[in-house]
Chains A and B, each alone.
Chain A
Amino acid sequence: MTMAPKREAYDVVVIGAGPAGLAAAATSAEAGLSTLLLDENIGPGGQVFRAVASTPVTDRNQLGADYWVGADLVQTLRASNAEIIQRATVWSLDRNLDIAVSVGGASAFVKAKRVILATGALERPFPIPGWTLPGVMTAGAAQTMLKSSALVPDGRTVIAGQGPLLWLLAAQILRLGGRIDRILDTTERGNYFAALPHAFAFLTSPYFAKGLSMMREVKAKVQVVSGVTELAASGDGQLASVSYVAGGKRETISADLLLLHQGVVPNVNLAMSAGIEHRWDDLQLCWSPVLDASGNSSIAGIAIAGDGAGIGGANAAVVRGRIAARAAVEALAPAAGAKLPSMAALRADLSKAERGRVFLDTLFRPSPQFRIPSGDTIVCRCEEVTAKDVLDAVAIGATGPNQLKAYRRTGMGPCQGRLCGLTVTELMAQARGKTPQEIGYYRLRAPVKPITLAELAAVPKSEDDIKAVVRG
């Protein structure tokens, strides 16, 4: 059963129950602070530990040992006094730390002394020709189906892209008996050289051994084409084939399902709509919030932990969650911090968890042709705006993403820029000879997830108003 928050005000409200949010809420509650954890999914875990408390996949090897770390985090949290609400969609947060949350079709407002945002990551847009065809989906969506329902592809399946999660998904699909016909690896060859100076840190990081064995496992069963430099999906109303160029040679293969993935980027929508300052990260090619060493943002009282603070992976997310919560404890109940691990110890854990990250970021930095489309390739799916449309608008005076709205309505559809924002920024930056930082991003607005008019109308003001609405 879903319940509205029990109180109107909390010491700490944590938003998102992935690795960072689980750790932050547990730490905060352990220190005795009144803690509310709001999470949009059916159960805790976020994407990386999705359905960890309910998955039908019981063979632990199939999802890997790292997945089951999530179960311990959930257990620790559930043993604490934190109030946890699932299927709770936070649709507004502002600089006064007022939070609007929708639970079970009804909205409530809560106030926090500190907010820890742990809204995680989104998959980077992968705007190739045909990416909007039915039959083309993101690897993350496929992984959601796999973790929550043990569903794996059984038609002709192609996976294209790059990055650690792509290999993890491929391994998970194969272990569950799913079908993969070919993997098209888009990692740019030059990236291997660029990443070399960072290789030592990577070799001594936990990523290395795990990553290598996973790639071996997949390559033993699936044909992998590396050095893919062009990619397109085609079909008449439905995906029929995937064509690609590798080593200068074009090839076209039939496919029923194309899974695309080229890394993840911070999910910035709630943070940006609250007015938190972000900067363009030129290595990770995305917007990241400006934070201090404890995760505190430009708005007093709001901290960000986990991949929403800049992509760092699950291990780093857990530590960042603890750090942000410890900072909240230090601010609100300094005496209670004594029983928690020291900040110095946590920061040491973080630098260990972040080891090897620069190598991964450099190696898997997506190539320009897969980030910045041209011609008739769709950029904005909600309003069906193509790359050419964007460039035409630039030619007659659109200077940035917000001005572009006046010409093409990009970013004004239901996704609020989640699927087009980075593409629009980079496309406009390239067209105008500016940096993405100079070009900027959409100004994002609440509600960051749509709510119905009826739900907003039912927000209680007084008993009389409630009755009036019910009679309506």
Chain B
Amino acid sequence: MTKNVDAIVVGGGIHGCSTALHLCLAGLKPVLIEKDYAGRHASGVNAGGVRQLARHIPEIPLSIRSMGIWEKISELVDDDCSFESYGQVLVAENEEELAVCRARVAELNALGFTHEELIDGAELQRLVPAVSETCPGGVVSRRDGAANPAQTTTAFRRKAEQLGATVREGVAASNIRYSDGLWHVDVGIETFAAPVLVNAAGAWAGKIAAALGEPVPVETVAPMLMITSRVPHFIDPVVILRGRKLSFKQFKNGTVLIGGGHLATPYQDRNETVLDWKSLAISARTVFELFPVMRDATIMRAWAGIEAKMKDDIPVFGPSSRHKGLYHQFGFSLHGFQLGPGAGAVMAELIVNGGTQTRVSDLGIDRFHPSTL
């Protein structure tokens, strides 16, 4: 028997959960379908960076919209998501890198964006005393911060369900088809039908888009992270490097998360990743050099989440260019977590109102043509 709902959201990451939640707030009854469980992949196991800093210009409006929601996250999901806001700092390790930072901030200012702020060596030392004194400066985005990704994604899922979303976990969406003006999706023995289908399936979304006749240049990647034992508190902001692959964050409990985008080998069909310890050793060396206080810390655990990376590193977001009622929300290319809350709000506006005040037009799937694949 087919169950009629208002919208079908495929994918229980932060994006699918946020969109389902915002559809509920708009008075719709969506179904959220997740093949594993909410936050199983990238959304639950990423670095938790809540970052406007160093974003691609086309996604900055969405990021700023999202930041406003993050700052009131408890009001939205009844859970603080362990969000804390000590800023994010991009460190220039030499004058050449600082020159790039200077040009970047000037470019943003010319476009009317003021969230990134150029800082000198003294301000860098004040914000991140542990960083090497030879670093001449960098960029800070002061409202940025970090949250617990699994806690956040779980909170969005829970709130969506409380507000009336139907949640199906542990069974994949299959046999996606359009007939008689409705999208139909099978979930095990159930079938759901709705006028709206949102493709928020993360690393699995490219296949769904391709099957619906909209192939895009996307690959599956698995960025690695590692976490250390507890060390005495020494750093507040999230730190990323301009020139080398490193991101660095100390949590309240003293543990330190080390990331930066070195990749594991994903085995998507098995939900598995195989870590590359030689690359993680590069991250360890960078930390060893920059933060001597970390040298005796122990590495507790390393992992990687499976996610989608677009060829142009910006997400696919907005209505399909081929099908009525189909919307895409995927390909966040290693920086989708912070965008989740805002993207869900904007997606709900696109679906319910047919438009939004937030500029997302550069993110549409129509930017790809067969010639670009």
Which A residues fall within an 8 A CB radius of B?
A: 92, 94-96, 100, 109, 275, 396-400, 402-403, 405-407, 412-414, 416, 445-447, 450-454, 456-457, 459, 461, 465, 468-469, 472
Q: Is B301 within 8 A of A407, CB to CB? A: no
Cα–Cα distance between A457 and B289 once the two chains are bound (Å): 9
- B310 cross-chain contacts in A, Cβ below 8 A: none
- B298 cross-chain contacts in A, Cβ below 8 A: 450-453
Chain A proximity mask over B274-300: 1 for CB below 8 Å, otherwise 0: 110110111011011100001111111
Q: Is B274 within 8 A of A406, CB to CB? A: no
- B281 cross-chain contacts in A, Cβ below 8 A: 456-457, 459, 461
Q: Is A454 within 8 A of B150, CB to CB? A: no
Residue of A nearest to B231 (CB): A453
Asked if B178 is at the interface (CB within 8 A of a chain A CB), the reply is: no
Q: Is A469 within 8 A of B151, CB to CB? A: no
Q: Is A414 within 8 A of B229, CB to CB? A: yes
- B274 cross-chain contacts in A, Cβ below 8 A: 94-96
Q: Is B154 within 8 A of A406, CB to CB? A: yes
Closest chain-A Cβ to B253's Cβ sits at a distance in Å of 8
Q: Is B288 within 8 A of A454, CB to CB? A: yes
Q: Is A397 within 8 A of B158, CB to CB? A: yes
Apart from A402-B37, A461-B278, what 19 extra A-B contacts exist at CB < 8 Å?
A: A92-B275, A109-B278, A275-B272, A397-B158, A399-B37, A400-B37, A406-B148, A407-B151, A414-B229, A447-B299, A447-B302, A452-B296, A453-B228, A453-B296, A453-B298, A453-B299, A456-B281, A459-B277, A469-B288
Q: Is B39 within 8 A of A445, CB to CB? A: no
Q: Is B148 within 8 A of A450, CB to CB? A: no
Q: List 25 A-B contacts (CB under 8 A).
A: A92-B277, A94-B274, A95-B272, A100-B277, A400-B37, A403-B37, A403-B150, A403-B154, A406-B154, A416-B301, A445-B302, A447-B299, A447-B301, A450-B229, A452-B297, A453-B287, A453-B299, A456-B280, A456-B299, A457-B288, A459-B278, A459-B281, A461-B278, A461-B281, A461-B282
- A96 cross-chain contacts in B, Cβ below 8 A: 274
Asked if B344 is at the interface (CB within 8 A of a chain A CB), the reply is: no
- B150 cross-chain contacts in A, Cβ below 8 A: 403, 405-406
Count B interface residues, CB 8 Å.
38
Closest chain-A Cβ to B37's Cβ sits at a distance in Å of 6
Q: Is B300 within 8 A of A453, CB to CB? A: no
Q: Is A454 within 8 A of B295, CB to CB? A: yes
Given contacts A95-B274, A109-B277, A406-B151, contact A457 B284 (CB under 8 A): yes
Q: Is B275 within 8 A of A446, CB to CB? A: yes
Cα–Cα distance between A160 and B81 once the two chains are bound (Å): 42
Closest chain-A Cβ to B73's Cβ sits at a distance in Å of 15
Residue of A nearest to B158 (CB): A397
- B86 cross-chain contacts in A, Cβ below 8 A: none
Q: Is B229 within 8 A of A469, CB to CB? A: no
Cα–Cα distance between A451 and B300 once the two chains are bound (Å): 7
Closest chain-B Cβ to A95's Cβ sits at a distance in Å of 6
Closest chain-B Cβ to A210's Cβ sits at a distance in Å of 42
- A400 cross-chain contacts in B, Cβ below 8 A: 37
Cα–Cα distance between A330 and B39 once the two chains are bound (Å): 44
Closest chain-B Cβ to A268's Cβ sits at a distance in Å of 16
- A406 cross-chain contacts in B, Cβ below 8 A: 39, 44, 148, 150-151, 153-154
- B288 cross-chain contacts in A, Cβ below 8 A: 453-454, 457, 469, 472
Cα–Cα distance between A195 and B157 once the two chains are bound (Å): 47
Cα–Cα distance between A446 and B169 once the two chains are bound (Å): 27
Chain A proximity mask over B153-164: 1 for CB below 8 Å, otherwise 0: 110011000000
Most buried by A among B157, B284, B287, B302: B284
Q: Is A468 within 8 A of B285, CB to CB? A: yes
Chain A proximity mask over B136-160: 1 for CB below 8 Å, otherwise 0: 0000000000001011011001100
Complex partner residue of A453 from B40, B148, B153, B294, CB under 8 angstroms? B294
Cα–Cα distance between A452 and B297 once the two chains are bound (Å): 6
Residue of A nearest to B161 (CB): A397
Most buried by B among A398, A406, A416: A406
- A399 cross-chain contacts in B, Cβ below 8 A: 37, 169
- A469 cross-chain contacts in B, Cβ below 8 A: 285, 288
- B148 cross-chain contacts in A, Cβ below 8 A: 406
- B151 cross-chain contacts in A, Cβ below 8 A: 406-407
Given contacts A414-B229, A469-B288, contact A450 B282 (CB under 8 A): no
Cα–Cα distance between A216 and B44 once the two chains are bound (Å): 55
Cα–Cα distance between A412 and B300 once the two chains are bound (Å): 8
- A453 cross-chain contacts in B, Cβ below 8 A: 228, 284, 287-288, 294-299
- B39 cross-chain contacts in A, Cβ below 8 A: 403, 406
Cα–Cα distance between A100 and B151 once the two chains are bound (Å): 32
Cα–Cα distance between A447 and B229 once the two chains are bound (Å): 12
Closest chain-A Cβ to B360's Cβ sits at a distance in Å of 29
Chain A proximity mask over B323-364: 1 for CB below 8 Å, otherwise 0: 000000000000000000000000000000000000000000
Q: Is A446 within 8 A of B302, CB to CB? A: yes
In the complex, chain B residues 251-291 whose Cβ is within 8 Å of any chain A Cβ: 270, 272, 274-275, 277-278, 280-282, 284-285, 287-289
- A461 cross-chain contacts in B, Cβ below 8 A: 278, 281-282
- B302 cross-chain contacts in A, Cβ below 8 A: 445-447
Closest chain-B Cβ to A467's Cβ sits at a distance in Å of 12
Given contacts A96-B274, A406-B148, A406-B154, contact A445 B303 (CB under 8 A): yes
Q: Is A94 within 8 A of B301, CB to CB? A: no
Cα–Cα distance between A100 and B281 once the two chains are bound (Å): 12
Residue of B nearest to A274 (CB): B274
- B299 cross-chain contacts in A, Cβ below 8 A: 447, 450-453, 456
Cα–Cα distance between A459 and B275 once the two chains are bound (Å): 15
Cα–Cα distance between A396 and B154 once the two chains are bound (Å): 10
Closest chain-B Cβ to A419's Cβ sits at a distance in Å of 15
Cα–Cα distance between A446 and B274 once the two chains are bound (Å): 10
Most buried by B among A109, A405, A446: A446
Closest chain-A Cβ to B104's Cβ sits at a distance in Å of 29
Cα–Cα distance between A454 and B281 once the two chains are bound (Å): 9
Residue of A nearest to B167 (CB): A397
Complex partner residue of A457 from B40, B270, B275, B287, CB under 8 angstroms? B287
Cα–Cα distance between A396 and B155 once the two chains are bound (Å): 10
Q: Is A454 within 8 A of B289, CB to CB? A: no
Cα–Cα distance between A416 and B301 once the two chains are bound (Å): 9
Most buried by A among B158, B229, B281, B296: B281
Cα–Cα distance between A445 and B300 once the two chains are bound (Å): 9
Chain A proximity mask over B295-316: 1 for CB below 8 Å, otherwise 0: 1111111110000000000000
In the complex, chain B residues 23-55 whose Cβ is within 8 Å of any chain A Cβ: 37, 39-40, 44
- B44 cross-chain contacts in A, Cβ below 8 A: 406
Q: Is A396 within 8 A of B300, CB to CB? A: no
- A454 cross-chain contacts in B, Cβ below 8 A: 288, 295-296
Cα–Cα distance between A242 and B287 once the two chains are bound (Å): 48
Complex partner residue of A472 from B153, B169, B289, B300, CB under 8 angstroms? B289
